[in-house]
Amino acid sequence: MKKIVIDSAVPYIRGVFEPWFKVEYVPCAAIDAAVVRDASALVIRTRTKCNAALLEGSAVEVIATATIGFDHIDMAWCRDHGIAAFNAPGCNADAVMEYVFAALNVFGRRKSLQGATLGVIGVGQVGHRVADMGRRRGFRVLENDPPLEAAGTSGREFVPLDYLLEHSDIVTIHIPLWPENRNFADTSFFEKMKPGAIFINASRGGIVDEEALLAARPKLDGLVVDVWKGEPNINPALLAAADIATPHIAGYSIVGKINGTMASVRRIGEHFGIPELANFKIEHSYKPYDIESYDIMADDAALRTAPARFEQLRTEYHLRG
């Protein structure tokens, strides 16, 4: 019987693989080369770095991450060594969108955002939901996504990045952490932003040059940070500078977790030709966050009270529900 290693924090998954695999549930911090050496498959989250150090000489055939992001997987190395690797695109997109508007609700109680321009950078699974909700809420929306624009198949209208930064009252980023996107929001980026704008990062910490952001902070009227460089050891200066700061939990709704788990199970099932897993579904009646009632400031307070507990806060949040 093949062995599968599963991050023990992945919810709604216990008992699913047992008819077909020897299953080991392991805390992410304990998933190491020795644990995975004789495993045929892994189900992980973003804290497990899947690279040569973990996988060299292992029996791993397939990796499924129950997350929208996949920058923790060395895709090129996996491809070169015959390991299939899959993420769960869109699994938590609604949750991230709702996080953004819960944050904007906080600013809206301080001053009116009526008629404001919302600039959305990256209009994939998350970004297009943010843009569409923005229009429904009465914002003028500007969108920037050069890869989608070049593809010419999205049916959306795009503007150059410089134009978006100059004209947006709110700028929110939703792009993947590809190597070319590291420090995407740099000194030049923030210099081009409209004075008095709100900046939101709920994508990946490495997208933003934190020192450039701190230098630009005086020109911004609002700053929301959910993702950080060097997690869980976050920049205390940035924590102090942010109006809203949370421990990388924007995508952690119950529905997002369910979707991530379903996608991972299906990918493993497809790879091994197991129809019961390839068609796996979790029946539920949950709804995503309620934008109006989600208390984002409670999560902010929890992080400020104990920033050294960043990882614990994130894990506790992930396991809610």
Q: Which residues are catalytic?
A: 204, 231, 248
Taking a C-beta distance cutoff of 8 angstroms, is the pair 230, 248 a contact? no
Phi, psi of 276 (to 5 degrees): -60, -35
Helices (H), ranges, 5-86: 33-36, 52-55, 75-80
Between the alpha carbon of residue 283 and those of residues 66, 197, 280, the distances in Å are 17, 42, 10
- Two tokens, residue 226: 């959910």
Three-state DSSP state, 109: helix
Spatial separation of the C-alpha atoms in residues 134 and 101, rounded to whole Å:
8
Instruction: Give the chain's radius of gyration (CA, Å).
Output: 20
Taking a C-beta distance cutoff of 8 angstroms, is the pair 113, 91 a contact? no
Between the alpha carbon of residue 191 and those of residues 210, 218, 220, 222, 293, the distances in Å are 14, 11, 11, 15, 35
Strand partners, 199: 171, 223
Taking a C-beta distance cutoff of 8 angstroms, is the pair 2, 21 a contact? yes
Spatial separation of the C-alpha atoms in residues 170 and 198, rounded to whole Å:
5
- The length of the chain is 321
Strand partners, 185: 208
